[in-house]
Amino acid sequence: MVEPILDVKNVTKRFAFNNETVTALANANLTIQKGEFVCLIGPSGCGKSTLLRMVAGFETASEGELLMWTKPVQGPGPDRGMVFQDYGLFPWLTVTKNIGFGPAARGRPAKEVKETARRFVEMVGLTRFADAFPHQLSGGMKQRVAIARVLANEAEVVLMDEPFGALDAMTRERLQAELLEIWEAQKLTVLFVTHAIEEAIVLADRVVVMSPGPGRIVADERIDIPRPRDPTSPEFNELRRRLSGLLAGHH
Amino acid sequence: MTQQPAWRGPALAAAFPLLALVAWHFATSGRAYSLIPPPWEVWLELRDLAVGGIYDDAFSETLGTHALASMSRAYGGFGLAALVALPLGMLIGRVEIIRAMLDPTLQLLRPVPVTAWLPLAMIVFGLGPRSAFFLVFLGAFYPILINTIFGVRSVEPRLFEAAAMLGVSPSATFAKVVLPASLPSIFTGLRLGLGLSWVVIVVGEMTGVQTGLGAIIMEARQLSRTDIVICGMAVIGVLGFASDKLIMLFGQWLLRWSPQHG
Ligand SMILES: Nc1ncnc2c1ncn2[C@@H]1O[C@H](COP(=O)(O)OP(=O)(O)OP(=O)(O)O)[C@@H](O)[C@H]1O
Ligand SMILES: [Mg+2]
C-alpha cells in the first residue's frame, strides 16, 4: 500500500479548563492519501477544529501521534496551509502582498515572489483587486485571498475550518466549485471541516463523521458519485439521509 | 441624501470665529480704556512681531526666533521621547521579564503630572531651556510608551497562526507581524505625544527662559503688553494645529490599509 500523506494514530487531546479536564478528542484514527478531499462533519464541540489544529501544528496531541509523510508533525509549517473561517489576512498588506507573503517570508527572490503572487491573484480571479486592502473586499473575496496565499506557498495539504461558513449561499456555491477546480488542477490534499451535510457531499471523496462528548470519529463514508454532483439526484438524497442518521446517532 | 456643496464645510467652520471677531471688535473698539486691545491693533502688533516696521520696539521682528526656539525644543523633546519610549514599549509589551521589572514602576510614576516635575527639573537642570526640554520629553514619553505597549500586546492571535503556517520563523514574527499590526496604536501614541509636547513646551518656557513663545507671553504680561500676549497665543494655536495636521497626513498615508485611518 502507498504511504499516506497524513496519518492520525490514536490521537487524544485533553484541555485543562477551570481545574477540569475536557477531552476534546478521544482515540482518533484517520489516514489520508495524497490527493484526497476529506470532509469532517459533526455537531458543535465534537473536536473538528481541535483535530484540524493538531494537524496544522497549532496544538499538540495529549496522546498518540500525527504523521505527515511518516514524519511526526512538529509545529506549523508551510507544507500544511490553513484557511480560517475568519480569513486571518494581514490587514496592512494588499491582496498581492498577502498572497506573496509566504514565499517572501521564506526568502524567495523578490522577482519570483512577484511572479508567483501575480499568478495566484489571477487564478482566484482577483486581478482587478490586486492592489486593494483586505477591508475593501467582500467576504468571498477575502476567502479567495486566504486560499490563494496557501496555494502560492506550495502547501501540499490544505486545512480548511468552515471556510465558507460566513458566506451567503450563492457565494458559497461558487467558491465550492472553484475550490474543486483548483483541487483537481493542483492535485491538492484537502481536509475540510463543515457543519453542512450538503457541502460535505458536494465536495468530498470521503466524509468523516464525528460525535461529541468526548469528541470521536464514528464513521468514514466514501462518496463515489461523479462530480459535479447534483443535490437533487436520488443518490445524493440517499447519502444525505444516511449521513443525517449517523449525525443523529442512530446507526 | 442630497449632495452638500463643497464650500459648506469651510463656510460653517469660518462662521463662528468671524462672529467672535466681530463681537471682539465692537466690545473693544473706541473705548478709552480697555483691558483687551481691539483686533486691529493685535493684527498690527502681530505684523510688527513677525516682520517689524511698525513700532520698532524691543519685540519687533522677534517672532521667528521665539517660534523656532519653541519648535526646536518641542520637536527635539518629542523626538527623544519617541527614541526611548518606542523600543522600551516594545520590550515591555513583548518580553515578560522586562514587563515584570519595569511596568509597576512606570505605572506608579505615571499619575505624577508633568507640571509637578517642573520644580524638580529646575533644581536638577537649572532655570532655563534644559528644564523645558526635559518636561517635553516627559510629557511625550508616557502617551507613546503606553500606546506602544498596548499595540504590541493586542495583536490578533489569529495573525500569529497565519504567519506561522505560512513559514515565518519565530524570530521574524516581530518584524513581519507585531510591528505592522501595532502601527495604528503606535501612531496614536505619537500623535498624542506631539500634541502634549506643544502644550508642555509653553508651560516649560514660562519660568526662567529667555526665548520661546511661552517666554515672550510671560514677558509681555509683565509689561502689560496684552496685544503681544494675544499674538503669542494665536501663534501657539496655529503652529500646534499645523503640526497636528502634518502628523495626521502622515498617519493617513502610513495607515491607508486601516479602515479607521485610511
Ligand atoms: N483552547 C481550549 N481550551 C479549553 N477547551 C477547549 C479549547 N479548545 C477546544 N476546547 C474544547 O474542546 C472541545 C472541542 O472543541 P472544537 O473547537 O474542536 O469543536 P468543533 O467541533 O470545532 O466545534 P464547532 O463546530 O462549534 O466549531 C469543546 O468542548 C471545547 O470546549
Ligand atoms: Mg470548530
Kindly tell me the sign of the dihedral angle through the C-alpha atoms of A230, A231, A234, A238. Answer: positive
Specify if B31 maps to a domain: no
Residue A2's Cβ-side half-sphere holds a number of Cα atoms within 13 Å equal to 7
Average pLDDT over residues A218-237: 94
CATH number of the domain bearing residue A29: 3.40.50.300
Exposure pattern of B60-86 as b/e (b: 16+ CB <10 Å)?
Answer: bebbeebbebbbebbbbbbebbbeebb
Specify if B169 maps to a domain: yes
Q: What is the pTM of this model?
A: 0.90
**Over the stretch A20-53, which tens digit does the pLDDT of each residue have?**
999 999 999 999 999 999 999 999 999 999 999 9
**Over the stretch A143-196, which tens digit does the pLDDT of each residue have?**
999 999 999 999 999 999 999 998 999 999 999 999 999 999 999 999 999 999
Residue B119: other Cβ atoms inside 10 A: 11
Residues contacting A233, CB < 8 A, separation 6+: A225
* Mean pLDDT, rounded, of chain B: 93
**Over the stretch B55-94, which tens digit does the pLDDT of each residue have?**
889 999 999 999 999 999 999 999 999 999 999 999 999 9
Specify if A94 maps to a domain: no
Specify if A49 maps to a domain: no
CATH number of the domain bearing residue B169: 1.10.3720.10
Specify if A238 maps to a domain: yes
Say if strands A63-68 and A6-17 run parallel, antiparallel, or are unpaired: antiparallel
Count: domains in chain A: 1
ipTM: 0.93
Specify if B159 maps to a domain: yes
Grid cell at residue B105: 514602576
Residue of the CA atom closest to atom 24 of ligand 1: A44
Average pLDDT over residues B173-196: 96
Closest by Cα among B194, B196, B201 to B245? B194
Domain with A64, as residue range(s), is 1-42+60-73+188-195+202-251
Specify if B206 maps to a domain: yes
Average pLDDT over residues A214-236: 94
Specify if A125 maps to a domain: no
Q: Which residues pair with A211 in a beta bridge?
A: A216
Interval between CA A49 and ligand 2 midpoint (Å): 4
How many angstroms away from the CA of B182 is the closest CA of chain A? 10
Interval between CA A110 and ligand 2 midpoint (Å): 36
Whether the per-residue pLDDT at A249 is higher than 80: the answer is no
Count: domains in chain B: 1
Domain with B192, as residue range(s), is 62-212
Q: How far apart are CA B152 and CA B183, in angstroms?
A: 9
Specify if B111 maps to a domain: yes
Cβ A92–B262 below 8 Å, yes or no? Answer: no
Cβ A76–B164 below 8 Å, yes or no? Answer: yes
